[in-house]
A and B are shown apart, each in its own frame.
Chain A
Amino acid sequence: MPVYPMPPLPSDDKRWKIVNGTMRRHGYERNALIETLHTVQSSFGCLDDNAIRFVARALHVPLSQAFGVATFYNHFSMKPPGKHTCTICIGTACYIKGADRLLAAAEKLLQIKPGKTTQDGNVSLMTARCVGACGRAPVMLVDEELVGLVEPVRMLEQLESWTSHD
């Protein structure tokens, strides 16, 4: 087994050191791929081509496997998120309580499909497959904060406040 040199960090952005730290903690083992991609996404907001290539080289996994993993899991996103994110839960309990109507209303207002970001980069509309707060259904995540028993009016107000200014 030849010893490969560690590839240089893509840039001197401090965040790469955090990514490298995760890999080091796992001894640059191949099985650290998912953990490392999690770190990349939490540091940079999404996975881009460059980052995946760097991680693949550092961990000696084939590019096909790295991209395969990055595109397989719902949690990983290859596109930068908007300034704000509205995540509507479409788990069963939320669905029974009208999450589909919430989603349709949000799509109509923002003129985008779930998983996409508005043209001005202000709002990303996401769906989640159950965040586990079924007791408060229907729920949504406003950026990182959980809101339960969502009324469509309340959701639209929130979205409008994001789209109108800032």
Chain B
Amino acid sequence: MQIAETVNAEHGKFDHEVNVCVALGCLSQHSDQLKDALTKEAAASGKRCRVRQTGCMGLCAAGPLVLVEPSETLYGGVRAEDAKELIDSLGEQPVERLAVHRENYFERQQHIVLENSGYIDPEKIDEYIGRDGYRALVKVLTEMTPAVVIEQISASGLRGRGGGGYPTGLKWSTVAKSTGAQKYVICNADEGDPGAFMDRSVLESDPQRVIEGMAIAAYAVGATKGYIYVRAEYPLAVSRLTVSLREARRRGFLGTNICGTAFAFDIEIRLGAGAFVCGEETALIASIEGLRGQPRPRPPYPAMSGLFGSPTLINNVETFANVPPILRNGADWYSSIGADKSKGTKVFALTGRIANTGLIEVPMGMTLREIVFDIGGGVPNGGKFKAVQTGGPSGGCIPEEHLDLPVTYDALIGVGSMMGSGGMIVMDDTSCMVNVARFFVEFCMTESCGKCIPCRAGTVQMFQLLTKICDGVATHADLDLLVDLCDVIKNTSLCGLGMTAPNPVLSTLRYFKHEYLEHIEQKHCRAGVCACGSRVMAGEEVTA
């Protein structure tokens, strides 16, 4: 690991590092121009400082963000014209007018997946190596057998971060036991849940971590080829991944004879094409094979027969991102973090009616109240908290009475929602829960692949019934029909999309039935969203 020493020696040449976030959120506020302005000022100042682009620092609400090391001062809302003042302040007093004071936001977090986000240039592999990157891969290839690696992952208690929560070690051992000359590893980066952007952020901020995790997984299960299936909606992530894969090959962490051993593994990127259902593993496999993204019945599970009929391991971006630190620091270290059956940390995307929108990583088992109010800063502009939605279109809305619930896979399922990939959308009294349910059902309706009838036809009927309720023309019979319909769709659909499509309806009915009844009995919408008359939404003429 000479590279690490070289990088750190390089690091030592500077008194100050000025990191500028160039992930999507800050980039949309021209942080690239800010970086150029800072670079110019830094050169002119004659100070021993370096300006570099880094990944997401989490607090998108206060962007564009600049982090100064070693003083760890965080600046927000920085413009190009502030560059001179900021560079001049290095080594002096920080610029108070731009400093971000969100101690609560950062102190309560624990970064494992995001440990490098904001500290390294995502396109430079050497910076990743300088922060212990690829140490785990070298250790695994030179000191451990595949069986020991799987044992470590099982002992760590890591569960699938795509939302299902399937034990990762168990999945790996199933693939390892499957017989096949060719095996594949697939990284599911088709982050289809609207309102979630953790995977995008990891891929844009620290792509090497995912590549390393995949290489370790490939060694453990005996695969020689990997695919990263990324959404076409994430062009920045795709371009950074492309660069990172090239860098990893150049450094010998991908290809043949990796780290001087007999292990060979390479990764290709495959672009998604905008279909939510492709997050379902069998649909994703069909899509990589160049077919329509339609799921097929399981079993056989991909672990037995997946891509091109070979045993295939599919894990989410965040699952792979957890692998290197687990092997670097040991399974015991990882399993000491988090809650009983949900170990480690989870990255959440906090959005909606909340003061500190952005990305957070917290130990599992923290309560929703702590996340929403302590870290998220609560509802801004004096609004009143109404619900937090987790799990995307497959999840549910959790009301205030359950805010003291610890966030674990099982506890969320217990209240009719689910962990999902980690989107948390906070709603206040300006949101109508019937309308929110209708929004999610509309999403599932348009995204249904059409293969099985319950989902293809059922979601349309659900949507029409909800539209009737929103328009104030529904009766109690319609509501009963809706409940029956949910039951049928949930129990007879082919894949997860259909099985979970009724969840937003069921969970809003469970906690906010009074809102449904108000729409039906009084033709009244307390949030004033549904006109309870004719409305035009998302391209449909609503006819009462």
Listed in ascending order, the chain A residues whose CB lies under 8 Å from chain B are 29-35, 37-38, 61, 65, 68-69, 72-76, 90-93, 95-97, 100, 103-104, 107, 113-115, 127-137, 139, 145-148
Could you say which residues of chain B place their CB within 8 Å of the CB of A31?
A: 288-290, 308
Q: Which of B270, B276, B537, B538 has the most CB of A within 10 A?
A: B538
Could you say which residues of chain B place their CB within 8 Å of the CB of A29?
A: 290
CA distance A32 to B289 in the complex (A): 8
CA distance A128 to B423 in the complex (A): 17
A146 touches B24 (CB 8 A): yes
Chain B's closest residue to A38 (CB) is B271
Q: A-facing mask of B374-413, CB < 8 A → 1, else 0?
A: 0000000000000001001000000000000000000000
B197 touches A133 (CB 8 A): yes
Chain B's closest residue to A95 (CB) is B439
Could you say which residues of chain B place their CB within 8 Å of the CB of A68?
A: 292
Could you say which residues of chain A place their CB within 8 Å of the CB of B271?
A: 34-35, 38
Given contacts A100-B538, A104-B536, contact A134 B27 (CB under 8 A): no
Given contacts A38-B271, A92-B389, contact A69 B292 (CB under 8 A): yes
CB distance from B203 to the nearest CB of A (A): 10
Asked if B95 is an interface residue, CB under 8 A from chain A, the answer is no
Interface segment, one of B158-166, B186-194, B258-266, B471-479: B186-194
Asked if B352 is an interface residue, CB under 8 A from chain A, the answer is yes
Q: A-facing mask of B316-359, CB < 8 A → 1, else 0?
A: 00000000000000000000000000000000010111000111
CB distance from A7 to the nearest CB of B (A): 18
What are the 3 closest A-B residue pairs judged by CB atoms, nearest first?
A: A135-B60, A91-B194, A73-B273
- Contact residues, B397-446 vs A (CB, 8 A): 423, 425, 427, 431, 436, 439-440, 443
CA distance A90 to B194 in the complex (A): 8
CA distance A103 to B442 in the complex (A): 16
CB distance from B131 to the nearest CB of A (A): 25
Given contacts A134-B195, A137-B357, contact A74 B538 (CB under 8 A): no
A132 touches B538 (CB 8 A): no
B290 touches A61 (CB 8 A): yes
B63 touches A136 (CB 8 A): yes
Q: Tell me which of A69, A92, A127, A147 contacts B538 (CB under 8 A).
A: A127
CA distance A134 to B427 in the complex (A): 14
A133 touches B25 (CB 8 A): yes
Chain A's closest residue to B442 (CB) is A90
Q: Tell me which of A72, A97, A100, A147 contacts B28 (CB under 8 A).
A: A147
Asked if B12 is an interface residue, CB under 8 A from chain A, the answer is no
Chain A's closest residue to B28 (CB) is A146
Beyond A73-B272, A130-B192, 18 additional pairs, beta carbon < 8 A = A31-B290, A69-B290, A90-B194, A93-B423, A103-B538, A127-B539, A129-B274, A129-B276, A129-B443, A130-B194, A130-B196, A132-B197, A133-B24, A133-B197, A134-B195, A135-B358, A146-B24, A147-B28
Asked if B293 is an interface residue, CB under 8 A from chain A, the answer is yes
B25 touches A136 (CB 8 A): yes
Could you say which residues of chain A place their CB within 8 Å of the CB of B61?
A: 135
Given contacts A35-B270, A65-B291, contact A128 B351 (CB under 8 A): no
B538 touches A129 (CB 8 A): no
A128 touches B25 (CB 8 A): no
Listed in ascending order, the chain B residues whose CB lies under 8 Å from chain A are 24-25, 27-29, 60-61, 63, 191-197, 200-201, 232-234, 270-276, 287-293, 308, 349, 351-353, 357-359, 389, 392, 423, 425, 427, 431, 436, 439-440, 443, 447, 449, 536-539
CA distance A82 to B447 in the complex (A): 25
Could you say which residues of chain B place their CB within 8 Å of the CB of A34?
A: 270-271, 273, 287, 290
CB distance from B109 to the nearest CB of A (A): 15
A96 touches B353 (CB 8 A): yes
Chain A's closest residue to B536 (CB) is A104
Could you say which residues of chain A place their CB within 8 Å of the CB of B60?
A: 133, 135-136
CB distance from B442 to the nearest CB of A (A): 9
A132 touches B359 (CB 8 A): no
Chain A's closest residue to B450 (CB) is A72
CA distance A50 to B436 in the complex (A): 42
Could you say which residues of chain B place their CB within 8 Å of the CB of A131?
A: 24, 233
Could you say which residues of chain B place their CB within 8 Å of the CB of A148?
A: 25, 28-29
Could you say which residues of chain A place their CB within 8 Å of the CB of B436?
A: 96
Chain A's closest residue to B24 (CB) is A133
Given contacts A93-B195, A134-B196, contact A33 B539 (CB under 8 A): no
Could you say which residues of chain B place their CB within 8 Å of the CB of A73?
A: 272-275, 292-293
Q: What are 5 pairs between A and B in contact, CB < 8 Å?
A: A35-B270, A132-B24, A133-B60, A135-B60, A135-B351
CA distance A103 to B357 in the complex (A): 23
CA distance A69 to B389 in the complex (A): 33
B293 touches A134 (CB 8 A): no
CB distance from A98 to the nearest CB of B (A): 9
Given contacts A73-B273, A136-B60, contact A92 B28 (CB under 8 A): no
CB distance from B529 to the nearest CB of A (A): 9
B290 touches A92 (CB 8 A): no
CA distance A127 to B540 in the complex (A): 14
B197 touches A134 (CB 8 A): yes
Q: Tell me which of B29, B194, B290, B308 contacts A93 (CB under 8 A).
A: B194
Could you say which residues of chain B place their CB within 8 Å of the CB of A65?
A: 291
Chain A's closest residue to B62 (CB) is A135
Could you say which residues of chain B place their CB within 8 Å of the CB of A130?
A: 192-197, 233
Could you say which residues of chain A place their CB within 8 Å of the CB of B194?
A: 90-93, 95, 129-130
Could you say which residues of chain A place their CB within 8 Å of the CB of B27?
A: 146
CA distance A134 to B60 in the complex (A): 9
Could you say which residues of chain B place their CB within 8 Å of the CB of A137?
A: 351-352, 357
CB distance from B416 to the nearest CB of A (A): 17
CA distance A148 to B23 in the complex (A): 13
B29 touches A96 (CB 8 A): no
Chain A's closest residue to B235 (CB) is A144
B358 touches A113 (CB 8 A): no
A96 touches B293 (CB 8 A): no
Could you say which residues of chain B place their CB within 8 Å of the CB of A129?
A: 192, 194, 233, 274, 276, 443, 447
CA distance A137 to B60 in the complex (A): 10
Chain B's closest residue to A37 (CB) is B273
CA distance A134 to B200 in the complex (A): 11
CA distance A104 to B440 in the complex (A): 19
B28 touches A96 (CB 8 A): no
